Amino acid sequence: MSTHGLETLTSAALLGTARTEPDFAALHTQDAAAAIVAPPEHRLLGAAALERAFVAAGSVPVTRPLPEPAADDDRPLLPPAAGERLRALLTVRSDLIGEWLDAAQGFRAPHGIVVDLLGRASALDEELRDKLLVLLGPRGRWLAQQNPRWSDLVAPDTDDPSVWQHGAAAARRRWFRALRAQDPAAATELLAASWSTETAANRQNLLTELAAGLGAYDEDLLDTALDDRSRKVRNVALDLLRRLPESAFGRRMTGRVRAWARVHDGAVEFTIPDVLDAEAMRDGLDDPLPRAAEAARADRAYPVEEARDRARVWALAASAPLSAWLASGMRIGDVLDLEVSEHLRDVLRHGRETAVDHQRDSAWAAALLPREDRAGLRVAEHAPRDVLVEHLRRMSARQLLLVDDIAALPAPWPADIARKVLTVLYTAAAPTSHSFRALTDLLARHAPFELVDLFDDAATRTDDLVRLNRFATAADILKLRRTLHEELS
């Protein structure tokens, strides 16, 4: 904006109003300045104040194009009671927000609450925020893009590479995540091109983003990352490569299973090299045993050689494709029935459970469930639902109190499973124990709605105040869940 008018007034002030008449013609505010009725020196100062204020804060009117309107959204409108329920859940930050948003798929939010929901979205974690934006639809995303306070709620424009080239670390990661969602292979190619210039922290964070959309196109970069100077980066690369059983990494691990393990007389015998070659060390086979695997036998100290072999067998079992163990036409059950040396038994099992989780293998999960006293969430959640239900029906009260397996069963639970858990809570669980609290929370969020009366009855039949309070709370949560689903129906 021109400051020529101010310069003219400055010249007049230096000469003095007794010697020259200030010229207001060059001012942006000439009309307002000319209207000042005062002695010449006061008129000059007033004109300078007006012009200065305009230059600092004013603007010349310009024509700006209107943004394109939001796309139409033909989804059915959210019922009014359900909309108010969502606002109430957001106000108290209820644990039921995620369930409500899942149940509301297919609806769109009324226009009148879009602004309110956008204002509350920033308090949610990323997963819930994304689900809320789906409910808000095109209008919500359009509105978020018009307001800088909400612009971070929507995925950045991947057509603009300036964020990737010049943005801060957090902004670059968001931009990379958006590109990964649109074109995973292109995102990996872009990261590979900038790999050598990234900091260790950026390499770790950006490599972690490859977990979404992981595929064969990621192999080369992940293999490169195995040579990284940062152990954290190498650990991320190992974790992701374990999810690609068909990769070159998986083939290397299959070769080691063939070389290190031999089936003989109903047992699997391991011959672990005393000294690993450079490639095996690069593939993580000489890394320390993870704490979770150590905890299984924390009560026993092993000789150095046995401790070393335990770590290597765990790494082999966690990294190798599960199919590598099925030599000579063996079935999964046949492999699991083989005898194993006592000092390797628990780490082999733990490593295979890790592999089941990474490879999402439902057949191995189904085979492991009945063979393990405590298969754990990471195995149980990959088993087919019918297999898991039958497994839970066979479990004892003591096994149910371990919680992990039943936590993997999605809602709604079969009524007989819910009744079995309620019976365990009445007969086998101490009301102040962690298991009691965990199981009552699971019941409240997974039991079928028709068991509400049974929960109320459980609360009235106990003289223990802790049990009474927990059962009554579970009944209230179950009633609330039933109501919110009814409001969305």
pLDDT at res. 427:
83
- Residues 138 and 184 both lie in one domain: no
- And the tokens for 115? 């602004």
pLDDT at res. 99:
95
pLDDT at res. 297:
54
- Residues 267 and 209 both lie in one domain: no
- Residues 218 and 236 both lie in one domain: yes
Residue 256 lies in a domain: no
Label residue 179 by pLDDT band (50, 70, 90): very high
The domain boundary residue, chosen from 338, 371, 404: 371
| pTM for this predicted structure | 0.80
Label residue 300 by pLDDT band (50, 70, 90): low
Q: Tell me which residue range forms the domain holding 449.
A: 384-488
The domain boundary residue, chosen from 348, 371, 394: 371
Residue 174 lies in a domain: yes
Compute how many other C-beta atoms are within 10 angstroms of the C-beta atom of residue 274. Answer: 7
Please compute the mean of the pLDDT values over residues 397-426 and round it to a whole number. Answer: 89
Residue 437 lies in a domain: yes
- And the tokens for 485? 């689903």
Label residue 32 by pLDDT band (50, 70, 90): confident
- Residues 28 and 46 both lie in one domain: yes
b/e for 78-113, b at 16 or more Cβ within 10 A?
bbeebbebbeebbeeebebbebbbebbeebbbeeeb
Label residue 146 by pLDDT band (50, 70, 90): confident
The string of pLDDT tens digits covering residues 40-61 is: 889 889 989 988 888 877 665 5
Task: Return the percentage of the chain with pLDDT > 70, whole number.
Answer: 97
Residue 73 lies in a domain: no
- Residues 138 and 189 both lie in one domain: no
- Residues 196 and 135 both lie in one domain: no
- Residues 87 and 51 both lie in one domain: no
Number of structural domains the chain divides into = 5
- And the tokens for 248? 């070159």
pLDDT at res. 147:
87
pLDDT at res. 62:
67
The domain boundary residue, chosen from 108, 125, 153: 153
The string of pLDDT tens digits covering residues 420-449 is: 998 888 887 788 888 889 999 999 999 999
pLDDT at res. 240:
98
Please compute the mean of the pLDDT values over residues 237-253 and round it to a whole number. Answer: 97
The string of pLDDT tens digits covering residues 358-389 is: 999 999 999 999 887 666 788 999 999 999 99
- Residues 316 and 275 both lie in one domain: yes
pLDDT at res. 336:
94
- Residues 166 and 101 both lie in one domain: no
Compute how many other C-beta atoms are within 10 angstroms of the C-beta atom of residue 469. Answer: 14
pLDDT at res. 1:
52
If you ran DSSP here, which 8-state letter would residue 229 be given?
S
